[in-house]
Amino acid sequence: VAPRRIVVVGASLAGLRAAETLRRRGFDGELTIVGAERHAPYDRPPLSKQLLAGTVEQSACALRRSPDLDATWRLGTAATALDPARGRLRLADGAELRFDGLVLATGCAPRRWPGELPAGVHVLRGLDDALALRTDALGARRVAVLGAGFIGCEVAATLRRAGVAVALIDVLPHPLAPLGPVLGGLCARIHAEEGVELHLSRRVAAFEGAPRLTAIRLDDGTRVEADVALLALGAVADVRWLAGSGLRLEDGVVTDAWCFADARRRIVCAGDVAVFPHPLAGERPVAIRHWSNAVEQAAAAAGNLLAPEDERRRYEPVPSFWSDQYDVRIQSVGLPERAQTLELVEGSLETRRLVALGHRAGRLVGAIAFNSAAGIAAPRRQLAEQLQRTTAAADAHVASA
């Protein structure tokens, strides 16, 4: 039976795109969008780039919304409990919403440091975080960025370009772990050339200063002076509110290949919170925490929620990602972190323009490009063709079962 009352939890990229797909596919029932943040949906990629640099303001980050959405918005109110069997969702303000279709799109939260921290230590996930970091960091004597993943590296690059002194600290020997040691090493070189002080293979031993940060002490005794720090330690899905719901929870909500999280197939899940099977990932389900996945999975999940069983489609996309650091645009397709070998097929490390292909057991699993939008197109196509074949084979297997 087609749902008549759908609730979307999470009013950001995946939630908004799911809601729009529902309407585009003809859903004319009651639609409610619940969001913990008080802001209307906005885009996160500029938060570590243009918004942090001050070259765009908050209004430029707003996500464009379809004027025909006809939804009830419950912003500034988190969902706090879910009862799938009764089709009930409880909100922080005590309200209870009934649903016969649910989209979970609650994204991630930044991983936090255990214990008390001095003033001046930030995290970056939302607009309010970014505005607070900008206010503090642009006037800082020196900013320490803890964690050289994509967000840490982007913040380091943005602040350097704004003339701020930056130290970048990570426990690993090179930044951007998914790129592997060679390309991660290239990133380290680029940051060093741009004037970032790198402390790699180092752990933080202590934050010094009270009430405000003055320095960070590392495990080798080095004292990195800093009056502002960013904890860029990765993102985790906060699914504690779903404990007891019966849904399968890992670092996110586990779904099947059609984005369904429950056996009755009334609950779908999309975006950073979704953990799902993917042919490139092997046996274990994965989370693909990138912008384009949030958009594509939201559309797929919403489509499947409305579709009759025989018209549902597996969600097996070509993962893709970009990151801007200085004058370098890094792009990746597939899951290059799964590669056993990474081979440079175009360009060179010196020119900061290159394409590298990642293989596993003789098959292409991913590719990485630096400043080569054209070079990433061919591996993207090849991965799409590979996936089309495996998806068709899986569908045929289901049909014959």
Ligand X SMILES: Cc1cc2nc3c(=O)[nH]c(=O)nc-3n(C[C@H](O)[C@H](O)[C@H](O)COP(=O)(O)OP(=O)(O)OC[C@H]3O[C@@H](n4cnc5c(N)ncnc54)[C@H](O)[C@@H]3O)c2cc1C
Among 281, 291, 307, 329, binds ligand X (CB under 6 A): 291
In angstroms, the CA 74 to CA 35 distance is: 6
Nearer to ligand X, 11 or 299 (CB): 11
In angstroms, the CA 12 to CA 63 distance is: 8
Using the rule CB under 6 A, give the single segment among 43-51, 186-194, 275-283, 356-364 that binds ligand X. Answer: 43-51
Which residue is associated with the tokens 């016969």?
A: 100
- Which residues make Cβ contacts (< 8 Å) with residue 199, sequence separation at least 6? 167, 168, 169, 170, 218, 222, 224
Contact (CB, 8 A) for 107 and 10: yes
Q: Smallest distance from the beta carbon of 320 to ligand X, in angstroms?
A: 8
Strands of 200-293 (E only): list them: 204-208, 215-218, 223-225, 228-231, 235-236, 249-250, 252-254, 267-269, 274-275
At residue 240, the 3 state secondary structure works out as helix
Nearer to ligand X, 108 or 229 (CB): 108
Among 5, 111, 125, 248, binds ligand X (CB under 6 A): 125
Using the rule CB under 6 A, give the single segment among 105-113, 222-230, 338-346, 365-373 that binds ligand X. Answer: 105-113
For the chain, what's the residue count?
Answer: 401
Contact (CB, 8 A) for 365 and 339: yes
Q: Would you give the binding string for ligand X spanning residues 174-213, x where CB under 6 A is met? A: ----------------------------------------
- Which residues make Cβ contacts (< 8 Å) with residue 48, sequence separation at least 6? 124, 130, 151, 154, 155, 158
Report if residue 108 touches ligand X, rule: CB under 6 A: yes
Instruction: Count residues near ligand X (CB under 6 A).
Output: 34
Using the rule CB under 6 A, give the single segment among 33-41, 170-178, 351-359, 378-386 that binds ligand X. Answer: 33-41
Report if residue 290 touches ligand X, rule: CB under 6 A: yes
Among 271, 285, 336, 366, binds ligand X (CB under 6 A): 271
Report if residue 35 touches ligand X, rule: CB under 6 A: yes
Nearer to ligand X, 218 or 275 (CB): 275
Which residue is associated with the tokens 């909100």?
A: 91
Report if residue 79 touches ligand X, rule: CB under 6 A: yes
Burial class (CB in 10 A: 0-12, 13-18, 19+), 225: middle
| Cα 268 to the center of its chain, rounded Å | 18
Nearer to ligand X, 218 or 235 (CB): 235
Q: Smallest distance from the beta carbon of 209 to ligand X, in angstroms?
A: 25
Report if residue 239 touches ligand X, rule: CB under 6 A: no
Angle, CA 22 vertex, CA 16 and CA 26 arms, to 5°? 145
Among 31, 33, 36, 176, binds ligand X (CB under 6 A): 36
At 175, the amino acid letter reads P
In angstroms, the CA 260 to CA 328 distance is: 38
Contact (CB, 8 A) for 349 and 318: no
Among 6, 22, 31, 34, binds ligand X (CB under 6 A): 34
Using the rule CB under 6 A, give the single segment among 99-107, 201-209, 217-225, 330-338 that binds ligand X. Answer: 99-107
At residue 258, the 3 state secondary structure works out as coil
Contact (CB, 8 A) for 237 and 287: yes
Nearer to ligand X, 136 or 202 (CB): 136
Report if residue 338 touches ligand X, rule: CB under 6 A: no
Nearer to ligand X, 202 or 289 (CB): 289
Contact (CB, 8 A) for 254 and 275: yes
Q: Smallest distance from the beta carbon of 327 to ligand X, in angstroms?
A: 15
Report if residue 13 touches ligand X, rule: CB under 6 A: yes
Report if residue 275 touches ligand X, rule: CB under 6 A: no
Contact (CB, 8 A) for 76 and 240: no
Nearer to ligand X, 45 or 279 (CB): 45
Using the rule CB under 6 A, give the single segment among 40-48, 200-208, 213-221, 381-389 that binds ligand X. Answer: 40-48
Footprint of ligand X (CB under 6 A): 9-15, 34-37, 44-45, 47-48, 78-79, 105-108, 124-125, 151, 241, 271-272, 289-291, 294, 321-323
